Amino acid sequence: MPYPLLLQKAAREALGLSLKDHVVIIDEAHNLMDAILGIYTIEVSLAQLQRAREQLTIYLQKFRNKLKGKNRVYVTQVVRLLDSLTTYLRTSGNEQKSASGNVQAVDLLQGKGVDQINLYKLMNYLQESKLARKVEGYVSHETQKDGSSGSRNETVKKAHEIAMPVLTHIQSFFHVLTNPDREGRFFFTTSKDPHETKLKYLLLDPSEHFREIVEDARAVILAGGTMSPVRTSTSHS
């Protein structure tokens, strides 16, 4: 299977794949550390954050009265997180003298009410409820209905842009906000187009994400034609 399906815990759980007491063979293993770094390094733009906010707004307008109290609370927390990240990119990020720089996770969580959010509980809710998939599915369905009329005006064009799946991607960025500081760093990058101002999480220590596989599996075999230096792989596992 492709590296991402094996190396991402969320992907394994979505597939119902358990590594418990199994033998895991990783071919071309000299690429392993770079693959983990690539998978867990994630970037989001202001445009993506705004699109996700619009999708959630559409979803809430339709299902607000049907959502149970706890679900409504968690969805509201997602909105607050999106607003907090958006506010940072609109203001603090763009006010920096340089075109890029590092930022602390705490600086990204300064929005109204965000300090009251338990990120671990919220991430658990998002995973179990599959909220991102439900929101994207509903918005896509509504957009297809609008497009079936044959109209090609700017309103329909914008609706299709909003419907592009993005919340699942941003959910991954939410998740890295819970990572310890020693595992990675956050950066911002400004742009002439404000909508392309971005936040990026760069993973520095891949060992934590590989350790779960090593601990669950009966054995892990790293195979490849160019495994030197072997110490690099073994030290991270």
Cβ atoms of 106 and 162 closer than 8 Å: no
How does pLDDT run across 129-162, given as a tens digit for each residue? 889 888 888 888 877 776 555 555 555 555 555 5
Starting at the edge strand that comes first in sequence, how are the strands of the sheet with 42-45 ordered? 42-45, 198-203, 184-189, 100-103
The answer to which of 31-40, 72-81, 162-171 has the lowest mean pLDDT is 162-171
How does pLDDT run across 178-215, given as a tens digit for each residue? 888 888 999 998 878 888 889 999 988 888 888 888 99
Q: Taken in order 131, 132, 135, 136, is the CA torsion positive or negative?
A: negative
Bond from prior residue into 2 cis (ω within 30 degrees of 0)? no
Query: Within 13 Å of residue 189, how many CA atoms lie on the same side as its CB?
Result: 9
- Residue % of the chain over a pLDDT of 70: 84
Who's near 222: CB < 8 A, 6+ residues apart? 26, 29, 32, 233
The answer to which of 6-15, 113-122, 141-150 has the lowest mean pLDDT is 141-150
Q: Give the residues across from 220 on adjacent strands.
A: 24
How much is the pLDDT for 82? 95
Written as six digits, the tokens of 115 are 């300090």
End-to-end CA distance of the chain: 20
What are the residue ranges spanned by the domains of the chain?
Answer: 1-40+206-237, 46-181
Who's near 49: CB < 8 A, 6+ residues apart? 82, 85, 86, 89, 170
Cβ atoms of 21 and 215 closer than 8 Å: no
How does pLDDT run across 52-105, given as a tens digit for each residue? 999 998 888 888 888 888 888 999 999 999 999 999 988 865 565 557 888 899
- Residue % of the chain over a pLDDT of 90: 28
Q: What's the count of helices (H) and strands (E) in the chain, helices before strands?
A: 13, 6
Residue 218 confidence (pLDDT) above 90: yes
How much is the pLDDT for 147? 58
Written as six digits, the tokens of 144 are 């297809």
How much is the pLDDT for 181? 85
What CATH fold (topology level) applies to the domain 1-40+206-237?
Rossmann fold (3.40.50)
How much is the pLDDT for 163? 58
Q: Give the residues across from 186 on adjacent strands.
A: 103, 201
